[in-house]
Copies of this chain bind each other. A is one copy, B any other.
Amino acid sequence: MARITGSNGARTAAAIRQAALGLIYRQGFAAMNLRDLAAEVGIQPSSLYNHITSKQALLFDLMQEHMQTLLDSTDAALAAAGPGLMERLRAFLAHHVLYHMERRQEVYIANFELRALDPPNHRQIVAMRQDYEARLMALLEEGVALGELVVGDIPVTAYAMLAMLTGICTWYRPSGRLEKAELVALHTELALNGIRRR
């Protein structure tokens, strides 16, 4: 019989994922150990295995869920934007910054723990990343074709823009000096100004 959502088991599983995000974000995947994870959840290490398959599988699940959410919410943001190229590009960038502030742990992990993945898992996550990057590159290409953007090299520019906007998740704290909206605006302008026809 299937357990209902919110049952004890599901709550434990969610707590594990939440605690794992924090620990991996703070210490790194290799440095995190399952004793600490279990302790943070309030169970014994062996009990983790009622909810996860392995440490590696836990990492993969966290990354995969994050990437899928990122792709889906990006597509939703693009669909909701106006039809113009600049409108869509601005929507992509704004969404990226906002998402990277709000889910900085997942983002950080997905960016910097790729090397901790087993080769098959690695391939899968890298493919999802490339999917995501491809959306930006397509927008840049379109902008160049329309004559609205000046881009020296599309992939290099896309990587540079993403690196700039992603950097926010290494230092952003909700309690910081600036509002989210301000940070989104600042970063979006910075990125757009870099390539907009002057």
Closest B residue, CB atoms, query A108:
B112
Q: CB-CB < 8 A to A69: which residues of B?
A: none
Alpha-carbon distance between A113 and B89 when the two chains are bound, in angstroms: 33
What number of A residues sit within 8 Å (CB to CB) of B? 37
Please tell me which one of the listed residues B30, B164, B182, B189 contacts residue A163 in the complex, with CB atoms under 8 A apart.
B164
Q: CB-CB < 8 A to A193: which residues of B?
A: 193-195, 198
Q: Mark A132-173, 1 if CB is under 8 A from B, else 0.
A: 000000000000000000001100110111111111101100
Check A4 for interface membership: any CB of B closer than 8 A: no
Let me know if B160 and A161 touch, CB within 8 A. no
Q: CB-CB < 8 A to A189: which residues of B?
A: 152, 194
Q: CB-CB < 8 A to A31: which residues of B?
A: 30, 115-116
Alpha-carbon distance between A170 and B27 when the two chains are bound, in angstroms: 20
Check A10 for interface membership: any CB of B closer than 8 A: no
- At the interface, is chain A mostly helix, strand, loop or mixed? helix
Known: A193-B194, A198-B198. A160 touches B187 (CB 8 A): yes
Let me know if A28 and B160 touch, CB within 8 A. no
Alpha-carbon distance between A153 and B193 when the two chains are bound, in angstroms: 15
A116, A163, A186 pick with most chain B CB within 10 angstroms:
A163
Let me know if A153 and B178 touch, CB within 8 A. yes
Alpha-carbon distance between A190 and B31 when the two chains are bound, in angstroms: 36
Q: Which residues of A contact B (CB under 8 A)?
A: 26-28, 30-31, 112, 115-116, 152-153, 156-157, 159-168, 170-171, 178, 182-183, 185-187, 189-191, 193-195, 198
Would you give 21 A-B contacts (Cβ < 8 Å), ordered by A? A26-B115, A27-B30, A28-B115, A30-B31, A31-B115, A31-B116, A152-B186, A152-B190, A156-B178, A156-B183, A157-B190, A159-B167, A159-B168, A159-B171, A160-B186, A160-B190, A162-B167, A163-B164, A166-B167, A167-B167, A189-B194
